[in-house]
Amino acid sequence: MQRRTFVKSAAGAALASPAFAAGAKVLGANDTIRVAVLGVNGRGQSHFNGLQPLDNVQVTHFVDPDLEIARQRAGEFEKKFGHKPEVVQDLRRVLDNKDIDVVTIATPNHWHTLAAIWACQAGKDVYVEKPATHTFNEGLSLVAAAKKYNRIVQHGVQLRSSEAVQEAVQKMREGIIGDVYMGRINIFKWRPKLEDFPAKATPPSTLDYDLWVGPGKYRPYSKRHVHYNWHWTWDYGNGEIGNQGIHETDMLQWGLDVGLPTKITSMGGKYLWDDYRETPELLSTLMEFDNGKKFGEVAVRFWCSNHETESANGNLFYGSEGYLEISGYTDYAFYFGRKNEPGPKGSAPTKHFENFVDAVRSRKTSDQNGPVETAHSAAALAHLGNITFRRGKVLEFDSAAGRFTNDNEANQMLGKEYRKGFEVPPPNKV
Ligand SMILES: NC(=O)c1ccc[n+]([C@@H]2O[C@H](COP(=O)([O-])OP(=O)(O)OC[C@H]3O[C@@H](n4cnc5c(N)ncnc54)[C@H](O)[C@@H]3O)[C@@H](O)[C@H]2O)c1
C-alpha cells in the first residue's frame, strides 16, 4: 500500500514538471525501463552489461557515430542476451524517441554535458560517465538542467555505491580517526608511450566524424584523438586527473566533506615520453579547503611506482588518531596511532546501476548515491587542477562566485567556445 501511494505521489510531482511537457513518461514500479546507451566502444559495454540483467530493464538502442563499433557491439549483445538493440548513429534520433526512458552516456568527455542536457530537455533520465563535464562552466549548466526538467542524473563514479566505502565514510564522520584534516589521491596508472599516427587522415566511411567532434573544437580527423586517445588532448579530454582521477576527486570531497578548494596549485608535465600527448604524464596538485581548514594532494603517475594503497588507485584520509585507506572502488582499511595498528576494514561490490534504476523509479534525487551536484563538483576539482597546471600559478577560487579571484586568464579557461549547433547553453538558458 505504502509503495503504491508513494508511486502515485511521485507521479504527481513528475506530471507538474517541465520534463513531462517535454514527453517524459511516469514509470510504475513494474514498468520496463527502456535504455539507450550512447558510446559503446569501451565503457559503454559495462553500461549495457550492467543494466540489461536488472529487473524490468531493457537495453533497446546502441548509439554511436562509429557504426562499425555499434554494429559489432549489437551482435555481441544479441549473442549474450538474446535480443538485438537497434543501432543508431545520431543521438538526436533517440532523444526524440518517446519510447526511451533513460540514456546512458559513455562518449568521450567533450560530449558528456551536451548529451546529458539534451536528454534532460527530452524528458529522459541520465547516467553520465565521469567526468560529467569537460569544463567548469558546463557543470553549472548540467545542474541547472537536471533541476529544471526534474530528471535523475547519476554520475558514473561507482565507488559511491559500495556499501563498504559508505561504511568507511560513516565511521570517519563518527570520529574513528579523530579530526580529519587531509586527503591524498593516488592515480598510478600504467600508460606507455603512445603509438604514433599521422596528424591528418581520412575518417573511415562508417564514422560520422563531424558528429564525433560535436561540441568539441574541430580538428582534422586523426587516430591520435579518436577512440580512447582523446583523453590526452585538451580539446576532447581532461588528462589523467580528469580520467581515472574523477573517482578519487569525488571520494576526496565526500570523505573530507568539502566542496571546491579555496586555494589550489599544480606542477607536472611530460618527463617520460616524447609523444603527442598534450596533457601531463605526471601531475601534483595541492589544495586547501575552507580557507585553510583542510588540505588535499593529488599524485598522478604514469609508469613504475610503489603503491600507497592495496590497489594502484585510491584515496587516503588522515586524522588526528589514524588514517583511512580506500583502495580502488570497493575496499577500505583503518590504521591507528604512531605504529599504524590495523583497525576495521571492509569490502563490498559497487551497485551503482542498481542505485540509479531505483532512483529512476522513486524519482527522489535523495535516493541517488551519485547525484548531479557531486558530478559537477568532482569534475570541477579536476578542471581547477588542470587550469592551475596550465597557468603555472597558485590560484585562489571563490566557489560561490564560480571564479578565480587572482587570475583573469584562468577564468577564461572555466568555459570554452562551441561549434554552431552544438552549444552548451548557459545555466539560465537550459
Ligand atoms: N566509470 C568508469 O569506471 C569508467 C571506466 C572507463 C571509462 N569511463 C568513461 O567512459 C567514457 C568513454 O570511455 P571509453 O574508454 O569507452 O572511450 P572510447 O573512445 O573508447 O569510446 C567512446 C565511444 O563513444 C562514441 N561517441 C562519440 N561521440 C558520440 C556521440 N555523440 N553519441 C554516441 N556515441 C559517441 C565513440 O565513437 C566511441 O565509440 C569516458 O568519459 C571515460 O572517462 C568510465
SS3 210: helix
Distance from residue 68's CA to the centre of ligand 1 (Å): 15
Residue nearest to atom 8 of ligand 1 (CA): 43
Instruction: Decide: 39 in ligand 1 pocket, CB within 6 A.
Output: yes
Task: Give the pLDDT score at 23.
Answer: 59
Determine the distance separating the centroid of ligand 1 and the alpha carbon of 132, expressed in angstroms: 12
> Using CA atoms, how far apart are residues 289 and 81, in angstroms rounded to an integer?
47
Q: How far is the CA of 208 from the centre of ligand 1 (A)?
A: 15
Regarding the beta carbon of 177 and ligand 1, being less than 6 Å apart is answered no
Residue 217 is classified by DSSP as: P
Cα–Cα distance between 283 and 240 in angstroms, integer?
Answer: 9
Using the Cα atoms of residue 228, residue 232, residue 236 and residue 237 in order, give the sign of their dihedral.
positive
Please report the atom of ligand 1 found closest to the CA of residue 226.
19
At residue 18, the pLDDT reads 56
Residue 322, ligand 1, Cβ within 6 A: no
The finding on whether 212 has its CB within 6 A of some atom of ligand 1 is yes
Domains of the chain plus CATH, in order, are 3-159+353-372 (3.40.50.720), 162-194+223-348+382-412 (3.30.360.10)
Nearest CA to ligand 1 atom 12: 106
| Interatomic CA distance for residues 122 and 100, integer angstroms | 10
- The atom of ligand 1 lying closest to the CA of 211 is 31
Atom of ligand 1 at shortest distance to CA of 44? 16
C-alpha cell of 264?
589550489
Atom of ligand 1 nearest to the CA of 230: 19
Distance 242 CA to ligand 1 centre (A): 13
Q: Which atom of ligand 1 is nearest to the CA of 214?
A: 31
* Ligand 1 atom at shortest distance from the alpha carbon of 227: 19
Distances (CA, A) of 416 to 70, 155, 216: 30, 22, 9
pLDDT of residue 22: 59
CA distances 392 to 260, 266, 267, 284, 306, Å, are 19, 7, 7, 12, 27
Instruction: Quote the ligand 1 centre to 319 CA distance (angstroms).
Output: 37
If one residue of 93, 129, 154 were mutated to test the ligand 1 pocket, choosing by the most ligand atoms within 8 A of its CB, it would be 129
Residue 1 is placed in which grid cell?
A: 500500500
Pairing of strands 125-128, 153-155: parallel
The residue type at 426: P
Ligand 1: centre distance to CA 231 (Å)? 10
Nearest alpha carbon, ligand 1 atom 21: 41
> What pLDDT sits at residue 7?
36
Whole-angstrom CA distances from 328 to 96, 311, 333 are: 38, 6, 12
Indicate whether residue 207 lines ligand 1 (CB < 6 A): no
In order, the DSSP letters of 82-108 are SSPPEEES-THHHHT-TT--EEEE-S-
Whether residue 338 contacts residue 123, with contact meaning beta carbons closer than 8 Å, is answered with: no
Q: 109: Cβ below 6 Å to ligand 1?
A: yes
CA of 64 to the centre of ligand 1 (A): 10
Ligand 1 within 6 A of 248 CB?
A: no
Hey, whose CA ends up nearest to atom 14 of ligand 1?
Answer: 42
Of 140, 136, 139, 112, which Cα lies nearest the Cα of 126? 112
**Cα angle at 84 between 82 and 90, to 5 degrees?**
155
Nearest-CA neighbor of 110 among 159, 39, 26?
Answer: 39
Q: Per residue of the chain (430 residues), what is the pLDDT tens digit?
A: 343 333 334 444 444 455 554 557 778 778 999 999 999 999 999 999 999 999 999 999 999 999 999 999 999 999 999 999 999 999 999 999 999 999 999 999 999 999 999 999 999 999 999 999 999 999 999 999 999 999 999 999 999 999 999 999 999 999 999 999 999 999 999 999 999 999 999 999 999 999 999 999 999 999 999 999 999 999 999 999 999 999 999 999 999 999 999 999 999 999 999 999 999 999 999 999 999 999 999 999 999 999 999 999 999 999 999 999 999 999 999 999 999 999 999 999 999 999 999 999 999 999 999 999 999 999 999 999 999 999 999 999 999 999 999 999 999 999 999 999 999 999 999 9
